[in-house]
Amino acid sequence: MARKNYKPKYIITYQCLNCGFDFALTEKEKPKCFYCESTENYIVIKKEKFTPQAIVNRLRISTDRMMEALKGAWQCRPKDTDKKIDKDFDGEKLLLEVMAKAKKLKDKIQSLKLEKKIKNKNRHKTF
């Protein structure tokens, strides 16, 4: 959420004691588990400086989990196509499309390189 003068100094990683997942927020945000939405029962497991590298690290963890979740969805998809409720809805195809998009996003994030800003206005942006 964009707010004026919003300059966090730290990224704090919490572990939710409700569901076991960890989630990271800046010190300016009220802790709330991304997974089970609990706002209590958590412990601080890591506190690091709010840097581009720290953000990229968290993004990598998030996209890894996203891929795992999608693989899980794929593995437990319904296989009995005769019992399709809606003939026009191809959930399997849709899931494959989502997985392909998620994979692309994951690959982009995994290959993110943090370059130091070069003060050259003619330099092309790579993304």
Residues in contact with Zn ion by CB under 5 A are 16, 18-19, 33, 35-36, 38
Nearer to Zn ion, 36 or 45 (CB): 36
Q: Does an H or E element contain 13, and which?
A: strand 10-16
Retrieve residue 116's tokens: 């130091």
Nearer to Zn ion, 37 or 107 (CB): 37
CB of 40 to Zn ion, least distance (A): 10
CB of 111 to Zn ion, least distance (A): 30
Sign of CA dihedral 23, 26, 31, 35: negative
CB of 24 to Zn ion, least distance (A): 13
Judge whether 53 and 113 are in contact, CB under 8 Å.
no
Nearer to Zn ion, 44 or 94 (CB): 44
- Helix, strand, coil tally for the chain in percent (to 5): 35, 15, 45
